[in-house]
Amino acid sequence: RFHGEGYQEGYAEGSHMGVVEGRRYGSLHGAKIGSEIGCYLGFALTWHCLLQKCTDEKNSKKIRALDSLIGMIQKFPYGDPTYDKLQEDLEKIRGKFKQVCSMLNIQSGFRIGTERSSLTF
């Protein structure tokens, strides 16, 4: 009987602590992804506005790549943490961001640290 009661109490406590730890972990990593995607979107929108004044063929390719990046970000499922292709779509956005940076001749690096987060150019 004591063994059974101890098991039930331990199981309940472990389940509760698992939920708390999972929520904390999910919030932390969700915030990191949100920060990264937000920086990419701000970058893309800013460059899109800057390049709209120029109408040559070279800039039209850059604008199309920026439009593609913006579209990918806008379709990203922020509200669905159970989305099965979340990591795959995130990697596609990162790849498109690197492509756009290459087209713009910008060295980019996105890093999130414990002290600060930054996007460097």
pLDDT by residue, tens only, the chain of 121 residues: 788 888 888 888 888 898 889 889 888 888 898 899 999 999 999 999 988 877 777 788 899 999 999 999 999 987 787 888 888 999 999 999 999 999 998 887 655 554 555 555 4
Residue 111 is assigned to a structural domain of this protein: no
State pTM to two decimals: 0.73
In the prediction, which pLDDT does 44 show?
Answer: 94
Residue 109 is assigned to a structural domain of this protein: no
In the prediction, which pLDDT does 41 show?
Answer: 94
β-strand partners of 114: none
What is the rounded CA–CA span in Å between residue 45 and residue 39?
A: 10
In the prediction, which pLDDT does 23 show?
Answer: 87
Residue 11 is assigned to a structural domain of this protein: yes
Number of domains in the chain: 1
Residue 69 is assigned to a structural domain of this protein: yes
Residue 121 is assigned to a structural domain of this protein: no
Residue 117 is assigned to a structural domain of this protein: no
Residue 14 is assigned to a structural domain of this protein: yes
Range(s) of the domain holding residue 43: 2-104
Residue 116 is assigned to a structural domain of this protein: no
Q: In degrees rounded to 5, what are phi and psi of residue 40?
A: -60, -40
Q: Where are the alpha helices (DSSP H) in the chain?
A: 2-51, 57-75, 86-103
In the prediction, which pLDDT does 109 show?
Answer: 67
What is the rounded CA–CA span in Å between residue 23 and residue 33?
A: 15
